[in-house]
């Protein structure tokens, strides 16, 4: 299996966020444009339909862009096939400490990871559940 491509991962998330904010901005413009004396591009129910559609699409894109990257962490776990620490997750995914701790908490909650019996280490190690 190929190594986890953190550049592609972050570029995809940034593109989703940018497209989501752009769709929300254009949707708001369509909705608010109806209140001006002379609406520019759209009028009537077409403006309402286009505005609501763009707001909904923008919301979905923003949700996908800001969602916790649990599936990518599961992909890393399957590639490694061994335990992982928060520091290794930070290094592999290039995320901050808080995000790595939240990812590990979700993976433990869902049953993909379990706490290791090795408690004498400086940082807790989480083993893959098989």
Quote the tokens at residue 87.
């520091």
Please name the residue that has the structure tokens 């990518």: 72
pLDDT in tens, 11-44: 999 999 999 999 999 999 988 887 777 767 677 7
User: Is the model's pLDDT at 120 over the cut of 60?
Assistant: no
Which residues are 128's β-sheet partners?
Answer: 113
Strands 126-128 and 113-115: antiparallel
pLDDT in tens, 48-103: 899 999 999 999 999 999 999 998 888 888 888 777 888 888 888 888 999 999 99
pTM of the model: 0.78
Is the Cα torsion angle 114, 117, 119, 122 positive or negative in sign?
A: negative
CA-nearest of 89, 59, 52 to 74 is 89
DSSP 96: -
């Amino acid at each position: 299996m190929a190594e986890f491509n953190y550049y592609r991962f972050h570029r995809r998330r940034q593109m989703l966020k940018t497209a989501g904010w752009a769709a929300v901005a254009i949707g708001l413009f369509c909705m608010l444009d109806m209140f001006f004396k002379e609406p520019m591009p759209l009028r009537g129910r077409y403006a309402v339909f286009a505005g609501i559609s763009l707001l909904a699409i923008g919301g979905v894109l923003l949700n996908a862009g800001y969602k916790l990257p649990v599936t990518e962490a599961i992909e890393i776990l399957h590639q490694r096939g061994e335990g992982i620490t928060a520091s290794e997750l930070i290094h592999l995914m290039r995320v901050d400490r808080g995000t790595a701790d939240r990812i590990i908490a979700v993976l433990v909650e869902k049953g993909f990871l379990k706490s290791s019996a090795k408690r004498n280490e400086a940082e807790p190690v989480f083993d893959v559940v098989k």
